[in-house]
Structure 1
Amino acid sequence: MEKDTPVVPPYDPSKPPVYDINQIAKILPHRYPFLLIDRIYHLDEVHVAGIKNVTFNEPFFQGHFPENPVMPGVLQIEAMAQIGGILVLNSVPDPENYWTYFLGVEGFKFRKMVMPGDTLDIKCELLQPIKRGIAKMKGTAHVNGKLASEGSMTASIVRKDQ
């Protein structure tokens, strides 16, 4: 692959998603108001990319902040973690039998405020192969091509019957 060729293609809303919201809800245990992602448009063994449409109707905007609505950074991290969870669960043959849990976040930076009407384009990449159920990922979130947030996350994948 050429060095300048992006690994993850740019988001094209005219193309069908890899997973739509109904398929995502079958993979992740999250439900309203905590299911924060809307579609997955790219998925391979080490990369995932998805979309979070930020609307004024989000329940957190009632209190953060009513006259100056800004998406909380921790919810940007959570949306990124949910997209990363799709990548991690893609590594097992029976994802419906596993939970993913946050173990840590490192080096998160918030570069741009995320407001109602924005579309967060979130990408996660495994930093190393998953070993003993531990996944380390780097994530980025962009709005209109500008970096909004970035950081690293560690997650554990655990069989539900344990």
Structure 2
Amino acid sequence: HKPHIEYEPELGLLNNTSLHYTNELARHKLLDFIGDVSLVGMPIKGKIITKKPGHKANVEFAKHLSQIIRKEKAKPSMPVTDIYAKPIMDIGEIQKRLPHRYPFLLVDKILKIDENSIIGLKNVTYNEAFFVGHFPNEPVMPGVLIVEAMAQVGGILVLNSVPDPENYATYFLRIEQVRFKKKVSPGDTLIFKLELVSPVRRGIATMRGIAYVGDSIVTEGLLTAQIAKKE
């Protein structure tokens, strides 16, 4: 400490110590900010510009950033898969599982499948029959057909639960909580991801389905289906 204290009331300064660096005050504020923002709980890669930062403002910023991160994490993410890799099922294999045919077969290939989930793909082209009337000057894939394509992918997932799927058919009992978020146009590639909400019981399966174009969700919904042996 200094032998005497110099107080400057007009500036509100108590000058009783020496600075180690000419920018020591800025360093102190920077360290305060780093400490406060660490409340986010994860590393931040980016550039942050502050003006007159303080603990209260820093903590509020950290809370706001944490809320944004939680919302982003809660969003369903686009399935990580190579759409150009050899498919698990090509159109020939799909036709062995599903009874649908042109113009109502709306799945081109299955990219991934396991006991609880499936990823399928539909290439949307201008040659689709429904674009003739929906709509001539602004072609948009009907939402009901996006859901139908999703249901066909889900049907393959459900049929995967029996040892002889060629002897069974899938019938949908209920479609709920459907939301259409973006339009689908010629040239788009639809990626469908469906996951079982619960195990298949007595031939009944409930699935959460999401349709993507690129990184964007275009449609989502909850589908319930029943598998029954063909007569």
What TM-score, normalized by structure 1, do the two folds share? 0.93
Instruction: Indicate yes or no: 2:104 matched with 1:104.
Output: no
- Residue 55 (structure 1) aligned to one of 105, 125, 146: 125
Where relative contact order (Cα < 8 A, 6+ residues apart) is larger, the structure is: 1
What letter matches 1:30 in structure 2?
H
Q: Secondary structure of the residue that 1:11 maps to in structure 2?
A: coil
Q: CA-to-partner distance for each residue in 1:75-119, whole Å, 9 max, x for gaps?
A: 000000000011000000000110100101000000000000000
CA–CA distance in structure 1, aligned partners of residues 92 and 78 of structure 2: 23
What letter matches 1:89 in structure 2?
L
Q: Looking at secondary structure, tell me which structure has more helix per residue.
A: 2
CA–CA distance in structure 2, aligned partners of residues 7 and 17 of structure 1: 21
Aligned residue number for residue 31 of structure 1: 101
Q: Looking at secondary structure, tell me which structure has more strand per residue.
A: 1
CA–CA distance in structure 2, aligned partners of residues 33 and 8 of structure 1: 27
CA–CA distance in structure 2, aligned partners of residues 13 and 104 of structure 1: 30
Tell me, yes or no, if the aligned pair for 1:8 and 1:47 is still in contact at 8 Å: no
- Residues 1:35 and 1:147: Cα distance change in structure 2 (over 3 Å): same
What letter matches 1:43 in structure 2?
I
Which protein has the larger Cα radius of gyration, Structure 1 or Structure 2?
Answer: 2
Tell me, yes or no, if the aligned pair for 2:203 and 2:227 is still in contact at 8 Å: yes
What CA RMSD, in Å, does the superposition of the two structures yield over aligned residues?
1.6
Can you give the 5+ residue segments of structure 1 that lack an aligned partner in the other structure? none
What TM-score, normalized by structure 2, do the two folds share? 0.66
Aligned residue number for residue 84 of structure 2: 14
- Residue 113 (structure 1) aligned to one of 149, 165, 183: 183
Equivalent pairs: percent with the same residue? 59
Aligned residue number for residue 91 of structure 1: 161
The runs of at least 4 aligned residues of structure 1 exceeding 2 Å deviation read 6-9
